[in-house]
Structures are given as structure tokens and as C-alpha cells.
Structure 1
């Protein structure tokens, strides 16, 4: 059973309380007008205006589009997502670097074992 529409809207607005201020500050910092940002993000200017005024709550996709259009770095993008009530996007792990590091460590371990075994007198039986 779903909540009445007005209750969902109020609850969503509470969850996104700081989003509108943060979005506006990022837009001003980037030196963009609402018209230009809306065009870059592929959204309607009046929708952007309602986002900045706190009258509307964005979807996750809209937040990511805005972040890309604003040229936000990972930290600011995470802050914008969090302010909108979404979990931040994590950068993919560099598995190749992790595997190289593990392989180097394993190689050092094998060399240590071989040096140790080479120093043991094997003739004692």
C-alpha cells in the first residue's frame, strides 16, 4: 500500500533538504546560468529552477547528469548525490594494479623461502 502523493512529496523534500543549496553553489562556482546548465545536463530549465528552489527532488540519473555537466570531481559528485539522498558512486577498482602488487609480494616471499632452503644442510639424514 503506497502513501498518498502529498506525503511522499513532503518526505522526499525532507530527504533532499540541502541539495538545492549545494546544486546552486556548484552552478555559480562553475559560472553557469540555469539555462546553460540545463542544456548541458539535458534537462528543462524550469525543472532545474524547481530543483534549485527545493520544490522538486531529482532522480539519481538527473543528479549524475548535473554532476557531469558541472564538471564535478569525485568528491563533489559524491556530496551532491548524498545531499540528494543517494549513495555515492565509487570509482572502479584498479584490479590490475592490485594483482601486480600481490604478484610482487608473492615473488618476494618465494625468493625468501628459496634463500632459506638453500641455507639448510640437506645432507643430515
Structure 2
């Protein structure tokens, strides 16, 4: 299989990925990851939730790139975002990413290296 980063994805693969990338799927994936990380002896809940927001943002960017039919080389040029949940107790059954998640800028300016 020849794969070029400059060419858009195969349309069938693109459609399958778009079908998979729903808010419900993203929610379930994040819940499973949280369960997985709870088994770590040095589990840091804050770090886990921060990484989950990054993952949601990456999946949101991927979904938008697929909808725009961008080639993979363009995906890495997208502005990084964080995505937090808009819901508290009821997981998303349907709806758009905008309905289920809140887009936040990935601002790391307050972080410093020691």
C-alpha cells in the first residue's frame, strides 16, 4: 500500500473514520482510558484529565480535517485545541462535537521549565 502525506485519504477510509468519530465514541474511549490509568500506582488524576482534554482536541481536529478532505500533511498544521465535556452526568448519545464538548485554546504560556 502506497501512502502519500500530500494526497487526501482514500474516500472509503475517510468515510469510515468520520462514521466512527462521534461524540459518543470519543466519550467511551476517554472513559476506558481513565479506567486504565487508575491502575497506575503513581496515578495523577489532574494529569490524566489534562491528557484526556488533549486527546479529545486531537480527535476533534482529526474529524474536522477529514470533513475538509485535507491530506495528512495538513493535519499537523492545525491549531492545537483542548476539548472538555459540556455534560456532567449524561454522556452524549448523539449530537455534534460542539453540542457535547467545549473547545478551548491550547495555551501553554503559563508553563515554565525548571
TM-score tier after normalising by the smaller chain length:
under 0.3
* TM-score with structure 1 setting the length: 0.26
**Bigger CA radius of gyration:** 1
* TM-score with structure 2 setting the length: 0.27
